[in-house]
């Protein structure tokens, strides 16, 4: 059987000493030590040339490696990783290319560099697998809005991060440090965003407060009514289908991983300053795999629909049946009462007949908000 030992050098030295004896049987020695004659002559030659120092295993790496990543590039890789601890080889590669570093290594080589320095967690890497994505064809066709889970601040307050992401480009048009999740707060923050980036065609939110009650007859809040009056379609996500605003969910996870861990912000102002700095890097520096390694800013452009500082009167067509929503959210038509929604109290809505007899679509401004059926008792 082949020999087993914890010291390869000592075994090789022993073999060579036996082999150099005058009456040694080299063939038998090779059999007992489990090596080939070629290996035996190699060990003997190394010993005769360098003594015991020639017996340890030699490094297989060549003395000169023309393909080795230069130290300056390896330092650049580690510097980018140090500033962005959640980034992998592809993102770092793209950043170095943009900074016009000469001879930037391939993403796989950068990954090897990170692994060699112990900066990759194999279990964490398994979590980041691509799935099939769907997005609007152009920017501002749809924005996704959500509140990231709130957290405590050093002054005793809680921060409620409001996140707003463009569906097409993943561009974060808003990352606001809010003190609560009330409608007035959200409307004030959206007003700032709309003034800066313009209006989207539609926005999607979940069914929770402050943008939805989660009940069929109360699907809209005053915030939704305000958005519709601005000409923005409000698209509540389907119950149990968070993937309808998956870009926003993904943005929230990235925010949680890259900025929030281990941080204690003094107050909302301090938090907003950190949010602004991180959002700048996310939009303008961070390559996105779903965008072909482009940054969100390269795929986004502001909307050409400017924010109106005042809202005009609500008007409908001459063929529309117009009814005013009463204080409980109901309208009256043909001696019947139909619940439309309390958020529309005081506003006119339009009834438009469908192809089915007795069934009418109900519109508020440009958006269909519900349907009524005269055939039901």
Give dist(CA 39, CA 54) in Å, integer.
13
User: What is the end-to-end Cα distance of the chain in Å, rounded?
Assistant: 93
Indicate whether 136 belongs to any domain. no
Looking at the structure, tell me whether residues 157 and 266 fall in a common domain.
Answer: yes
Q: Tokens standing for 64?
A: 């000169």
Give dist(CA 329, CA 84) in Å, integer.
50
Indicate whether 97 belongs to any domain. yes
Report pLDDT digits (tens) over 75-128.
777 777 777 666 776 777 777 777 656 667 777 777 777 776 665 655 444 444
Q: Which domain holds residue 286?
A: 143-299
Looking at the structure, tell me whether residues 295 and 167 fall in a common domain.
Answer: yes
Cβ-count burial of 372 within 10 angstroms (0-12 exposed, 13-18 middle, 19+ buried)?
middle
Look up tokens 């958020």; give the residue: 343
Its sign, for the CA torsion 67, 70, 73, 78, is: positive
The secondary structure of residue 357, as a DSSP letter, is: T
Count structural domains, the chain. Answer: 4
Give dist(CA 141, CA 203) in Å, integer.
8
Looking at the structure, tell me whether residues 155 and 283 fall in a common domain.
Answer: yes
Greater confidence, 12 or 338?
A: 338
Within 10 angstroms of residue 32's Cβ, the number of other Cβ atoms is 14
Give dist(CA 18, CA 16) in Å, integer.
5
Looking at the structure, tell me whether residues 256 and 111 fall in a common domain.
Answer: no
Report pLDDT digits (tens) over 288-317.
887 788 888 889 999 989 999 999 999 999
Judge if pTM exceeds 0.75.
Answer: no
Contact 272, 176 (CB under 8 A): yes
Give dist(CA 249, CA 147) in Å, integer.
10
Indicate whether 38 belongs to any domain. yes
Indicate whether 19 belongs to any domain. yes
Indicate whether 133 belongs to any domain. no
């Amino acid at each position: 059987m082949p020999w087993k030992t914890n010291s390869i050098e000592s075994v090789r030295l022993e073999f060579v000493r036996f082999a150099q004896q005058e009456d040694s049987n080299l063939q038998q020695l090779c059999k007992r030590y489990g090596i080939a004659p070629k290996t035996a002559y190699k060990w003997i030659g190394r010993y005769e040339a360098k003594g015991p120092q020639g017996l340890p295993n030699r490094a297989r790496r060549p003395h000169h490696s023309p393909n080795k990543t230069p130290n300056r590039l390896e330092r650049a890789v580690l510097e980018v990783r140090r500033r962005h601890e959640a980034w992998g080889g592809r993102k770092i590669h793209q950043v170095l290319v943009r900074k016009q570093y000469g001879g930037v290594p391939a993403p796989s080589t950068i990954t090897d560099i990170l692994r060699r320095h112990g900066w990759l967690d194999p279990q964490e890497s398994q979590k980041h697998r691509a799935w099939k994505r769907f997005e609007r064809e152009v920017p501002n066709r749809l924005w996704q809005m959500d509140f990231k889970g709130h957290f405590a601040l050093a002054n005793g307050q809680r921060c409620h991060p409001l996140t707003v992401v463009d569906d097409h480009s993943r561009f974060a048009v808003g990352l606001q440090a809010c003190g609560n999740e009330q409608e007035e707060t959200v409307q004030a923050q959206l007003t700032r965003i709309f003034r800066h980036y313009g209006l989207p065609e539609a926005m999607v939110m979940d069914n929770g407060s402050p943008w939805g009650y989660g009940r069929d007859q109360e699907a809209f809040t005053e915030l939704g009514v305000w958005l519709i009056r601005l000409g923005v379609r409000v698209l509540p996500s389907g119950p149990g289908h968070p993937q309808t605003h998956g870009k926003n969910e993904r943005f929230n996870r990235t925010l949680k991983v890259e900025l929030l861990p281990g941080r204690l912000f003094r107050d909302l102002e301090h938090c907003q300053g950190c949010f602004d700095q991180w959002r700048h890097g996310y939009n303008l520096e961070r390559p996105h795999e779903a965008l072909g390694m482009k940054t969100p800013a390269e795929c986004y452009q502001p909307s050409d629909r400017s924010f109106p500082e005042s809202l005009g009167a609500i008007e409908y067509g001459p063929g529309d049946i117009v009814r005013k929503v009463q204080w409980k959210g109901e309208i009256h038509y043909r001696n019947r009462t139909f619940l439309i929604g309390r958020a529309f109290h005081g506003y006119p809505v339009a009834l438009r007949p469908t192809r089915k007899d007795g069934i009418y679509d109900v519109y508020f401004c440009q958006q269909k908000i519900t349907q009524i059926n005269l055939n039901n008792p």
